[in-house]
Amino acid sequence: MKSTTPPYQFVSEAKLPTRFGDFKIHGFVETLSGQEHIALSYGTWENSDIVPIRIHSECLTGDALFSTRCDCGFQLEKALQNIVDNGCGVLLYLRQEGRGIGLLNKIKAYNLQDEGFDTVEANQHLGFDADLRDYSICKLMLDKLGVNKVELMTNNPKKLAALEGMGVNVVARKPIDHGVTKDNKHYLMTKTSKMGHTFDPDKLK
């Protein structure tokens, strides 16, 4: 008999005050793998409203340990501030570290980058694709939060294509090219040249 268990489930929600403002945190789980993801929502909206959203993949080194060799932590903070400034919005935080290869493999990739590989070459040298992330849970999360039209904060065309492919109405894309440092400039140039990210070239000079 075919299983009727949905692949993703909503678990619970709670208040989450932050230094940016008072959010709500919503927990979701992948039924088969047990992988957990969260959404942060701020403010209220109607079904017809355009809601700014950010899809952010977990980056422990950037988000929690303040690493400057990527722009993840900078983008996370900028997205949360943008949402608060707008008066409402959603951040989908997906647990797929290192573009899907996991934390320890990301450290191995960092070691290869220290030896001269770029971020794409390092992942491929370890036997992975350049990007293994999966955005299929995003539609369920947005549906649960009552979001029908979005302004997507991203530089990554794959996120835009993924949402549109799932039937999400992406009304606009807002760039979030924020957080260039001497340590991540080459990384950002690689994402632009090899992965199609739309980063402002003037910021990489």
| Mean pLDDT confidence for 117-140 | 94
Instruction: Give CA–CA dist 166/136, Å, rounded.
Output: 8
Q: Count of domains in the chain?
A: 1
pLDDT tens figures, 12-41: 999 999 999 999 999 999 988 899 999 999
With respect to residue 118, please indicate whether it lies within any of the assigned structural domains. Answer: no
What is the pLDDT at residue 77? 96
Annotated binding site: 54-59, 70, 72, 75, 97-99, 119, 154, 159
CA-nearest of 54, 19, 29, 28 to 154 is: 54
Helix (H, G, I), strand (E, B) or coil at 7: coil
With respect to residue 112, please indicate whether it lies within any of the assigned structural domains. Answer: no
CATH of the domain at 175: 3.40.50.10990
Helix (H, G, I), strand (E, B) or coil at 100: helix
Annotated binding site for Zn(2+): 59, 70, 72
What is the span of the domain harbouring residue 40?
Answer: 11-96+133-197
Treating both helix axes as pointing N-terminal to C-terminal, what angle do 157-165 and 137-144 enclose, rounded to 10 degrees?
A: 70
Phi, psi angle pair for 66, to nearest 5°: 65, 30
**3-class SS shares of the chain: helix, strand, coil, % to 5:** 35, 25, 40
Annotated binding site for GTP: 54-58, 75, 97-99, 119, 154, 159
For residue 202, is pLDDT > 80?
no
Positions marked active-site = 131, 133
For residue 172, is pLDDT > 70?
yes
What is the pLDDT at residue 2? 57
With respect to residue 45, please indicate whether it lies within any of the assigned structural domains. Answer: yes
pLDDT band at 3 (very low <50, low <70, confident <90, very high): low
With respect to residue 158, please indicate whether it lies within any of the assigned structural domains. Answer: yes
With respect to residue 4, please indicate whether it lies within any of the assigned structural domains. Answer: no
pLDDT band at 183 (very low <50, low <70, confident <90, very high): very high
